[in-house]
Amino acid sequence: MSAVATLPAVKATINGLMVEVPAGTSILDAARRAAVKIPTLCKHKDLLPTAACGLCVVRNKGGPRLLRACCTPLEDGMEIVTHDNEIVEVRRSTLELILSNHPAECLTCGRNGECELQAIAADFNIRTDCIKRYVKDLPADRSTGSIILEFDKCIKCGRCLQVCQEMQDVWALSFLERGINTRMAPAGDIALAESPCVMCGQCSAHCPTGAIVENDETAAVWAALNDHDKVCVVQIAPSVRVTVGEAFGLPPGTNLTKKLYSALRRLGFHAVFDTNFSADVTIVEEATEFVQRFVHQRGPLPLITSCCPAWTDFMEKKHWDFIDNFSTAKSPQQMLGVLAKTYYAQQAGIDPAKLVVVSIMPCTAKKFELSRTEEMFASGFKDVDICLTTRELARMLKQSGIDFLALDDGAADSILGQYSGAGTIFGTTGGVMEAALRTAHHYATGQKLGQVEFAAVRGLDGVRTAVVDVGGAKVRVAVAHGLGHVSTVLARVRQFGVRRRKVSEESGFGRSRRPEGARRREGL
């Protein structure tokens, strides 16, 4: 029986409708179950309520004051009213106050059409400035090149702080000052690039307004495509094909790989590559590295790896004592860039100086990765020139007049567009680990690995572990979802004093302690 099922139920009415929900359910969630929609601005489904905006107010019949539905549990016998003239007027006044501190720049804002504040103002039919507008005109922070902080557009909902501090365990953002002067800023009031920020973009993904947006580089891609002296090629990351559809009204997870190939060609790219190809190369590199360390004992364990540059930055800033345990393999984005500017340029007879490599990636940290160290220029040029997020690609497709969903299927170019099943599962958390583990097992034993059974770790959402038999030796694997859980896993590695073995955000191995003689006998 699930934990939820054992909770006592509470019975109450919402707008006269009888509802029965487990104790502890918020009025907001209970109302949703009864198909009653209460407006919200600060509450996000992934996050705890911050009760910051005041839009979700409701009345309990006979109660002395209005209640915030997002953070008030429904109680037995309550008679909740979500909409009457007074409640709607309170919400409207709250909204007008929020708007009075917000710039009226919707047409030029990076979130135009995707802004929760804009949508809610339209729902309330707010057409005029009822309260004199006062905007501080604070300069934006563009220091990272990946994300932009537009402080004036912040409505102080607190989502980004909760994400950065509690979900990602980075603590780059903070509220500074007090009262009317309260503002969101990098902690210590420094430039974001100087802060512990790892450019993961999660704050941007959760911000309800245009206060945190990705650095839009679509103009640079249009310029390269229109430059007759350049040859533009593109790569798409595994997850982009199943998320781009959301921008066109399709449900999350709709696979549009082949339409995407067609669309990218129509945009004018000379060749279309698939990052799944270099994901396969990554698997070969990582599996080889693991066998070197595990079987031949050339290098420390655990071997730690992820294809996420935010993770690399996080590890360097927070867990630098594990640097020797990092895999030395580059991310698939960067591997494909090098291969395009060397192997492909040579095969296609293109001067690599004229080749522009564009990548379409799921997160803003990939933008930062393009020039994070001199190793990102291994081809003798910048290996990947411009990185766009899925949102930016969707914008380009909409600008171009291409009816994306009506396109026929297309194909990627050979050979940098071909891939195996291992590359395909890169788009899912833990996919890297499973693919690398299978290949390493084959390299070490010559045998195929059977089903890997992962188990959730008690009390740790977001961490899964498995024990895999590799030639008679037990390899312990940990997969952590989200940066916050990386610290948890590494704390356990430190706590148990395991001689450095392999753990990862998206992949990892670890071998249980076995006597040296036993390992030799097993040939490992």
Contacts with ligand FES, residue ranges (CB under 6 A): 40-43, 49, 51-56, 68, 70
Contact 447, 493 (CB under 8 A): no
Place of tokens 């999350």: 252
CB closer to ligand SF4, 70 vs 147? 147
CB closer to ligand SF4, 84 vs 194? 194
For residues 236 and 216, give the distance between their C-alpha atoms in angstroms, rounded to a whole number.
17
With 0-12 / 13-18 / 19 or more C-beta atoms within 10 angstroms meaning exposed / middle / buried, residue 266 is middle
CB closer to ligand SF4, 102 vs 330? 102
Q: In the bound complex, what is the minimum distance in angstroms from residue 176's beta carbon to ligand SF4? A: 12
Taking CB within 5 to 8 Å according to partner kind, which of ligand SF4, ligand FES, none is near residue 199?
ligand SF4
CB closer to ligand FES, 41 vs 80? 41
Taking CB within 5 to 8 Å according to partner kind, which of ligand FES, ligand SF4, none is near residue 43?
ligand FES
Please identify, among the stretches 106-114, 158-166, 390-398, 434-442, the one whose residues bind ligand SF4 according to the rule CB under 6 A: 158-166
Distance set, CA 336 to CA 38, 114, 310, 367, 456 (Å): 47, 32, 19, 15, 34
Please identify, among the stretches 198-206, 450-458, 464-472, 510-518, the one whose residues bind ligand SF4 according to the rule CB under 6 A: 198-206
Please identify, among the stretches 2-10, 155-163, 389-397, 494-502, the one whose residues bind ligand SF4 according to the rule CB under 6 A: 155-163
Query: What are the residues facing 460 on neighbouring strands?
Result: 457
Q: Does 36 bind ligand SF4 (CB under 6 A)?
A: no
Please identify, among the stretches 72-80, 151-159, 220-228, 501-509, the one whose residues bind ligand SF4 according to the rule CB under 6 A: 151-159
Taking CB within 5 to 8 Å according to partner kind, which of ligand SF4, ligand FES, none is near residue 439?
none
Place of tokens 């934990």: 3
Torsion-angle region of 256 (φ positive above 0: left; ψ -120 to 50: alpha; else: beta)? alpha
What is the three-class DSSP state of 522?
coil
Q: Which helix (H) or strand (E) holds 387?
A: strand 386-389
Distance set, CA 447 to CA 105, 294, 413, 459, 466 (Å): 61, 17, 32, 35, 19
Q: φ and ψ at 299, to 5 degrees?
A: 125, 155
Q: In the bound complex, what is the minimum distance in angstroms from residue 135's beta carbon to ligand FES? A: 21
Which of the residues 200 through 219 are near ligand SF4 (CB under 6 A)?
200-203, 206-209, 211-212
Q: In the bound complex, what is the minimum distance in angstroms from residue 170's beta carbon to ligand FES? A: 24
Report the amino acid identity of residue 340.
A
CB closer to ligand FES, 51 vs 88? 51
